[in-house]
Amino acid sequence: MDYTQKTILISFILIFLSVKMFPCTCGLSRLSDKQKWEMENSECIFIGEVLEIDSANHTYKVKVVESLDGGDEVENIYLGKNWTSCTPYIGKKGKWIIYGYMEEGFLRLNLCGISRSFNYPVVNPAPPPFPQLNEKPKSKIERKNQSKKRRSKDIEKGLTELNAEIDVLRKVRDKKK
């Protein structure tokens, strides 16, 4: 194999791997835009309790606690299927807001959607701050403390946004009745 053939082969392999490793890129957008899109394009919108997770099969069981679109029976249990490499991904038990649809008997969350856990309701986390010019490097402990504070603020903000989102969904649902 000559140099040109090797270069083409290596390029092809790298392109193939990058497509396989990063099949979806969600990007950042305003939460209000994501909320509007989810409300208009979701077959199911509800608050659910994730009861079981089967990591080997990428599945989970979620019980409807409250229907937010009026279409889901409370106490109904769905078998959901996670996308293997895209978000959102249900990997922890607990209370979640779910935006999704049914496909081949499985509940699927909308790709790049805003379904999220009440334990970590953050849609767009704050990026780490850039170091200032002439600033001395922070110690590992200082960086860790700063990261904890940022995460705590993100969660607090996320809970506020999540509660406001649920209030809007309830009002829309109640208008339909």
Q: Convert the pLDDT of each residue in 1-13 to its tens digit.
A: 665 665 555 554 5
For the four alpha carbons of 120, 122, 123 and 124, in that order, the dihedral sign comes to negative
pLDDT of 14: 44
Determine which of 28-37, 64-73, 167-176 has the lowest per-residue pLDDT on average: 28-37
**Is 2.40.50 the CATH classification of the domain at 25-124+136-176?**
yes
Q: Convert the pLDDT of each residue in 42-52 to its tens digit.
A: 999 999 999 99
DSSP string, 70-134: S-S-TT-EEEEE--SSSS----S-EEEEEEEEEETTEEEEPTT---EESSS--SSPPPPPPPPTT
Q: Convert the pLDDT of each residue in 117-151 to its tens digit.
A: 999 999 877 777 776 666 777 788 888 888 899 99
Residue ranges per structural domain of the chain:
25-124+136-176
* Residues 6+ positions from 140 with CB-CB distance below 8 Å: none
- State the DSSP H helix or E strand holding residue 139, giving kind and residue range, or none if neither: none
